[in-house]
Amino acid sequence: MTDPAALRPAPTRSPLAGAPPVEPLAAARPLLLRTAGRRHGPITRLISPHELGEQLKPFVFLDAFDVEAAGAPRFGMHPHSGIATFSALISGRFAYEDTTGKSGVLDEGGVEWMRAGRGVWHDGAPASPGRIAGYQLWVALPPEQELAEPESLYLAPADVPRVGPARVLLGAHGGAQSPVPSPEGITYLLVELSDGEGWTFQPAPGQRLAFVAVHEGGLRSPAPIAAGELGLFAPGEQPLSLQAVGPTRFILGAARPHRHPLVTGRSSVHTTPEALAQGERRIREIGGQLAAGGRLG
Protein backbone atom coordinates (compact mmCIF):
# COMPACT_ATOMS: atom_id res chain seq x y z
CA MET A 1 0.00 0.00 0.00
CA THR A 2 2.98 2.34 0.37
CA ASP A 3 3.66 5.09 -2.14
CA PRO A 4 7.31 4.49 -3.14
CA ALA A 5 7.86 8.17 -3.91
CA ALA A 6 7.01 9.31 -0.42
CA LEU A 7 10.09 8.94 1.77
CA ARG A 8 9.15 12.28 3.28
CA PRO A 9 10.08 13.62 6.72
CA ALA A 10 8.23 12.01 9.61
CA PRO A 11 5.23 13.77 11.15
CA THR A 12 5.76 16.42 13.75
CA ARG A 13 5.80 14.92 17.22
CA SER A 14 2.67 15.51 19.23
CA PRO A 15 2.85 16.53 22.89
CA LEU A 16 1.12 14.36 25.43
CA ALA A 17 -1.89 16.69 25.48
CA GLY A 18 -5.49 16.44 24.32
CA ALA A 19 -5.64 12.79 25.40
CA PRO A 20 -8.79 10.90 26.40
CA PRO A 21 -9.74 11.62 30.02
CA VAL A 22 -8.37 8.47 31.65
CA GLU A 23 -5.86 8.14 34.46
CA PRO A 24 -2.30 7.06 33.59
CA LEU A 25 -0.92 3.78 34.85
CA ALA A 26 1.49 4.14 37.74
CA ALA A 27 4.98 2.61 37.78
CA ALA A 28 4.95 1.95 34.03
CA ARG A 29 7.72 2.39 31.47
CA PRO A 30 7.74 6.08 30.44
CA LEU A 31 6.12 7.19 27.19
CA LEU A 32 8.39 9.62 25.30
CA LEU A 33 5.93 10.91 22.74
CA ARG A 34 2.68 10.31 20.98
CA THR A 35 1.88 11.13 17.35
CA ALA A 36 -1.16 10.89 15.11
CA GLY A 37 1.13 10.86 12.07
CA ARG A 38 0.41 12.59 8.81
CA ARG A 39 -2.41 11.58 6.51
CA HIS A 40 -1.96 11.11 2.76
CA GLY A 41 -5.53 10.33 1.65
CA PRO A 42 -6.50 6.97 3.20
CA ILE A 43 -2.95 6.31 4.44
CA THR A 44 -1.48 7.63 7.69
CA ARG A 45 2.30 7.73 7.92
CA LEU A 46 3.33 7.04 11.52
CA ILE A 47 7.08 6.38 11.11
CA SER A 48 9.47 7.73 8.47
CA PRO A 49 13.20 7.00 8.04
CA HIS A 50 14.02 10.68 8.40
CA GLU A 51 12.92 11.14 12.01
CA LEU A 52 11.16 8.54 14.13
CA GLY A 53 12.88 5.89 12.03
CA GLU A 54 16.21 7.06 13.44
CA GLN A 55 14.91 6.50 16.97
CA LEU A 56 13.14 3.23 16.22
CA LYS A 57 15.40 1.55 13.63
CA PRO A 58 15.18 -1.28 12.55
CA PHE A 59 11.54 -0.08 12.40
CA VAL A 60 12.05 2.67 9.82
CA PHE A 61 8.66 3.14 8.21
CA LEU A 62 5.08 2.44 9.25
CA ASP A 63 1.88 3.20 7.34
CA ALA A 64 -1.64 2.58 8.63
CA PHE A 65 -4.36 2.20 6.00
CA ASP A 66 -8.14 2.02 6.35
CA VAL A 67 -10.22 2.62 3.25
CA GLU A 68 -13.11 1.33 1.18
CA ALA A 69 -11.69 -1.02 -1.44
CA ALA A 70 -13.31 0.98 -4.22
CA GLY A 71 -11.42 4.10 -3.14
CA ALA A 72 -8.06 2.50 -2.37
CA PRO A 73 -5.06 4.02 -4.18
CA ARG A 74 -3.38 2.10 -6.99
CA PHE A 75 0.40 2.37 -7.06
CA GLY A 76 1.19 -0.18 -9.76
CA MET A 77 4.48 -2.05 -9.89
CA HIS A 78 7.09 -0.20 -7.80
CA PRO A 79 10.55 -1.09 -6.45
CA HIS A 80 12.42 -1.46 -3.17
CA SER A 81 15.90 -2.51 -2.08
CA GLY A 82 17.81 -2.86 1.18
CA ILE A 83 14.75 -3.37 3.39
CA ALA A 84 12.02 -5.88 4.11
CA THR A 85 8.37 -4.87 3.89
CA PHE A 86 5.76 -6.50 6.09
CA SER A 87 2.01 -6.07 5.66
CA ALA A 88 -0.53 -7.18 8.26
CA LEU A 89 -4.09 -7.24 6.96
CA ILE A 90 -6.65 -6.54 9.70
CA SER A 91 -9.70 -6.54 7.44
CA GLY A 92 -10.46 -7.13 3.77
CA ARG A 93 -8.68 -9.16 1.08
CA PHE A 94 -5.64 -8.07 -0.89
CA ALA A 95 -4.11 -9.33 -4.13
CA TYR A 96 -0.34 -9.29 -4.43
CA GLU A 97 2.40 -9.91 -6.97
CA ASP A 98 6.18 -9.46 -6.94
CA THR A 99 9.18 -10.14 -9.15
CA THR A 100 10.26 -13.13 -7.06
CA GLY A 101 7.48 -14.89 -8.97
CA LYS A 102 4.96 -14.96 -6.14
CA SER A 103 1.33 -13.90 -6.57
CA GLY A 104 -2.01 -14.61 -4.95
CA VAL A 105 -4.64 -13.23 -2.58
CA LEU A 106 -4.07 -12.42 1.07
CA ASP A 107 -7.14 -13.05 3.24
CA GLU A 108 -8.22 -11.01 6.26
CA GLY A 109 -5.79 -11.73 9.09
CA GLY A 110 -3.04 -12.83 6.72
CA VAL A 111 0.45 -11.33 6.49
CA GLU A 112 2.95 -10.62 3.72
CA TRP A 113 6.74 -10.53 4.16
CA MET A 114 9.00 -9.41 1.34
CA ARG A 115 12.74 -9.06 1.79
CA ALA A 116 13.68 -6.69 -1.01
CA GLY A 117 17.41 -7.25 -0.52
CA ARG A 118 19.34 -6.35 -3.66
CA GLY A 119 16.17 -5.27 -5.47
CA VAL A 120 12.58 -6.26 -6.18
CA TRP A 121 9.38 -4.79 -7.64
CA HIS A 122 5.89 -5.50 -6.32
CA ASP A 123 2.25 -4.56 -6.70
CA GLY A 124 -0.94 -4.97 -4.72
CA ALA A 125 -4.63 -4.05 -4.82
CA PRO A 126 -7.86 -4.85 -2.95
CA ALA A 127 -9.30 -8.20 -4.01
CA SER A 128 -12.88 -7.80 -2.77
CA PRO A 129 -15.41 -5.07 -1.95
CA GLY A 130 -15.68 -3.54 1.51
CA ARG A 131 -13.15 -2.00 3.86
CA ILE A 132 -9.49 -2.89 3.78
CA ALA A 133 -7.37 -2.00 6.78
CA GLY A 134 -3.98 -2.86 8.17
CA TYR A 135 -0.37 -1.76 8.56
CA GLN A 136 2.69 -1.85 6.36
CA LEU A 137 6.06 -1.86 8.11
CA TRP A 138 9.54 -1.41 6.67
CA VAL A 139 12.37 -3.18 8.47
CA ALA A 140 15.97 -2.06 7.97
CA LEU A 141 18.17 -5.06 7.15
CA PRO A 142 21.67 -5.72 8.52
CA PRO A 143 24.60 -5.45 6.08
CA GLU A 144 24.72 -9.21 5.48
CA GLN A 145 21.09 -9.18 4.25
CA GLU A 146 20.60 -5.80 2.56
CA LEU A 147 21.96 -7.07 -0.80
CA ALA A 148 20.78 -10.67 -0.49
CA GLU A 149 18.52 -12.27 -3.04
CA PRO A 150 14.92 -11.11 -2.60
CA GLU A 151 12.37 -13.45 -1.04
CA SER A 152 8.70 -13.27 -0.19
CA LEU A 153 6.39 -15.21 2.09
CA TYR A 154 2.61 -15.01 2.47
CA LEU A 155 0.87 -16.56 5.47
CA ALA A 156 -2.79 -17.42 5.94
CA PRO A 157 -4.37 -16.34 9.24
CA ALA A 158 -4.16 -19.88 10.64
CA ASP A 159 -0.39 -19.88 10.11
CA VAL A 160 0.20 -16.89 12.40
CA PRO A 161 0.76 -18.17 15.98
CA ARG A 162 -1.20 -16.74 18.90
CA VAL A 163 -0.24 -16.40 22.56
CA GLY A 164 -3.11 -15.18 24.75
CA PRO A 165 -4.40 -11.92 23.23
CA ALA A 166 -1.37 -11.51 20.94
CA ARG A 167 -0.77 -12.79 17.40
CA VAL A 168 2.98 -13.19 16.81
CA LEU A 169 3.57 -11.51 13.44
CA LEU A 170 7.38 -11.35 13.59
CA GLY A 171 9.92 -12.82 15.96
CA ALA A 172 9.09 -14.65 19.17
CA HIS A 173 6.79 -14.08 22.14
CA GLY A 174 5.58 -16.25 25.00
CA GLY A 175 7.20 -19.39 23.61
CA ALA A 176 5.74 -18.96 20.10
CA GLN A 177 7.83 -18.19 17.02
CA SER A 178 6.59 -16.57 13.82
CA PRO A 179 7.46 -18.56 10.67
CA VAL A 180 8.53 -15.30 8.96
CA PRO A 181 12.36 -15.18 8.55
CA SER A 182 12.81 -11.67 9.95
CA PRO A 183 16.16 -10.46 11.33
CA GLU A 184 17.01 -11.50 14.88
CA GLY A 185 15.99 -9.31 17.77
CA ILE A 186 12.60 -8.15 16.44
CA THR A 187 9.16 -8.80 17.95
CA TYR A 188 6.02 -7.50 16.22
CA LEU A 189 2.59 -8.35 17.64
CA LEU A 190 -1.08 -7.68 16.91
CA VAL A 191 -2.91 -7.57 20.25
CA GLU A 192 -6.66 -7.55 21.01
CA LEU A 193 -7.92 -6.65 24.49
CA SER A 194 -11.42 -6.30 25.93
CA ASP A 195 -12.52 -3.15 27.75
CA GLY A 196 -10.54 -2.73 30.97
CA GLU A 197 -8.29 -5.72 30.30
CA GLY A 198 -4.67 -5.26 31.37
CA TRP A 199 -1.68 -6.74 29.56
CA THR A 200 2.07 -6.63 30.14
CA PHE A 201 4.77 -7.14 27.53
CA GLN A 202 8.24 -8.15 28.69
CA PRO A 203 10.91 -7.40 26.06
CA ALA A 204 13.51 -10.02 25.29
CA PRO A 205 17.10 -9.27 26.37
CA GLY A 206 18.52 -6.43 24.30
CA GLN A 207 15.13 -5.23 23.00
CA ARG A 208 15.52 -1.63 24.17
CA LEU A 209 13.18 -0.08 21.58
CA ALA A 210 9.38 -0.30 21.73
CA PHE A 211 6.28 1.35 20.31
CA VAL A 212 2.56 0.71 20.04
CA ALA A 213 0.11 1.91 17.36
CA VAL A 214 -3.59 1.74 18.25
CA HIS A 215 -5.95 0.66 15.48
CA GLU A 216 -9.17 0.92 17.49
CA GLY A 217 -10.12 1.59 21.09
CA GLY A 218 -7.50 3.15 23.35
CA LEU A 219 -4.75 2.30 25.81
CA ARG A 220 -3.86 3.44 29.27
CA SER A 221 -0.08 3.65 29.76
CA PRO A 222 1.96 6.39 31.46
CA ALA A 223 -0.18 8.62 29.21
CA PRO A 224 -3.31 7.65 27.23
CA ILE A 225 -2.87 6.53 23.61
CA ALA A 226 -5.93 6.95 21.40
CA ALA A 227 -7.02 5.16 18.23
CA GLY A 228 -4.91 6.30 15.29
CA GLU A 229 -1.94 7.24 17.47
CA LEU A 230 1.55 5.81 17.84
CA GLY A 231 3.21 5.87 21.24
CA LEU A 232 7.02 5.69 21.54
CA PHE A 233 8.36 4.37 24.83
CA ALA A 234 11.61 5.34 26.50
CA PRO A 235 14.56 3.07 25.64
CA GLY A 236 15.08 0.25 28.10
CA GLU A 237 14.17 -3.34 28.84
CA GLN A 238 11.48 -2.67 31.44
CA PRO A 239 8.07 -4.23 30.72
CA LEU A 240 5.28 -2.29 29.03
CA SER A 241 2.14 -2.14 31.18
CA LEU A 242 -1.02 -1.42 29.16
CA GLN A 243 -4.77 -1.42 29.80
CA ALA A 244 -7.56 -1.26 27.22
CA VAL A 245 -10.06 1.60 27.11
CA GLY A 246 -12.96 -0.04 25.28
CA PRO A 247 -12.45 -3.04 22.98
CA THR A 248 -8.95 -2.35 21.69
CA ARG A 249 -6.73 -3.62 18.91
CA PHE A 250 -3.14 -2.44 18.46
CA ILE A 251 0.25 -3.42 17.13
CA LEU A 252 3.37 -3.52 19.24
CA GLY A 253 6.94 -3.46 17.99
CA ALA A 254 10.06 -4.17 20.07
CA ALA A 255 13.60 -4.60 18.83
CA ARG A 256 17.29 -4.48 19.49
CA PRO A 257 18.70 -1.25 18.03
CA HIS A 258 19.88 -1.33 14.40
CA ARG A 259 23.38 0.05 14.81
CA HIS A 260 23.91 1.23 11.23
CA PRO A 261 23.18 4.47 9.36
CA LEU A 262 19.99 4.84 7.31
CA VAL A 263 21.07 5.74 3.77
CA THR A 264 17.88 6.38 1.84
CA GLY A 265 16.97 6.52 -1.82
CA ARG A 266 13.65 7.07 -3.53
CA SER A 267 12.33 3.66 -2.47
CA SER A 268 15.26 2.08 -0.66
CA VAL A 269 17.05 2.11 2.69
CA HIS A 270 20.61 0.79 2.99
CA THR A 271 23.50 1.03 5.43
CA THR A 272 26.07 2.67 3.09
CA PRO A 273 26.02 4.80 -0.09
CA GLU A 274 27.78 1.96 -1.91
CA ALA A 275 25.09 -0.54 -0.98
CA LEU A 276 22.40 1.95 -2.00
CA ALA A 277 24.04 2.40 -5.41
CA GLN A 278 24.07 -1.37 -5.95
CA GLY A 279 20.44 -1.71 -4.93
CA GLU A 280 19.27 1.14 -7.16
CA ARG A 281 21.25 -0.24 -10.09
CA ARG A 282 19.51 -3.60 -9.74
CA ILE A 283 16.12 -1.86 -9.43
CA ARG A 284 16.76 -0.11 -12.77
CA GLU A 285 17.68 -3.41 -14.41
CA ILE A 286 14.46 -5.08 -13.26
CA GLY A 287 12.48 -1.98 -14.26
CA GLY A 288 13.88 -2.19 -17.75
CA GLN A 289 12.81 -5.83 -18.01
CA LEU A 290 9.31 -4.97 -16.82
CA ALA A 291 9.05 -2.10 -19.27
CA ALA A 292 10.17 -4.33 -22.10
CA GLY A 293 7.42 -6.76 -21.16
CA GLY A 294 4.79 -4.02 -21.12
CA ARG A 295 4.35 -4.15 -17.33
CA LEU A 296 5.10 -0.48 -16.62
CA GLY A 297 3.53 2.78 -17.74
Task: Work out whether the CA dihedral 96, 102, 104, 106 comes out positive or negative.
Answer: negative
Is residue 24 in some structural domain? no
Question: Residue 247's domain is classified under what CATH number?
Answer: 2.60.120.10
Is residue 172 in some structural domain? yes
* Segments forming the whole domain that contains residue 187: 31-290
Residue 149 has, within 13 A of its CA and on its CB side, a CA count of 3
This prediction has a pTM of: 0.90
E strand residue ranges, 69-173: 78-80, 83-91, 94-98, 103-106, 111-115, 120-126, 131-140, 151-155, 162-163, 166-170, 172-173
List the pLDDT tens digit at each of the 297 positions of the chain. 544 344 333 343 443 344 444 455 655 789 999 999 999 888 899 999 988 999 999 999 999 998 887 766 666 789 999 999 999 999 999 888 999 999 989 999 999 999 999 999 999 888 888 889 999 999 999 999 999 999 999 999 999 999 999 999 999 999 999 999 999 999 999 999 999 999 999 999 999 999 999 999 999 998 899 999 999 999 999 999 999 999 999 999 999 999 999 999 988 999 999 999 999 999 999 999 999 988 886
Is residue 21 in some structural domain? no
Q: How far apart are CA 263 and CA 268, in angstroms?
A: 8
Is residue 15 in some structural domain? no
Is residue 246 in some structural domain? yes
Is residue 19 in some structural domain? no
Is residue 124 in some structural domain? yes
First and final C-alpha spacing in the chain: 18
Residue 285 DSSP symbol: H
Is residue 4 in some structural domain? no
Q: How far apart are CA 239 and CA 185, in angstroms?
A: 16
- Tell me, what amino acid is at 136? Q
Q: How far apart are CA 135 and CA 12, in angstroms?
A: 20
Overall domain count for the chain: 1
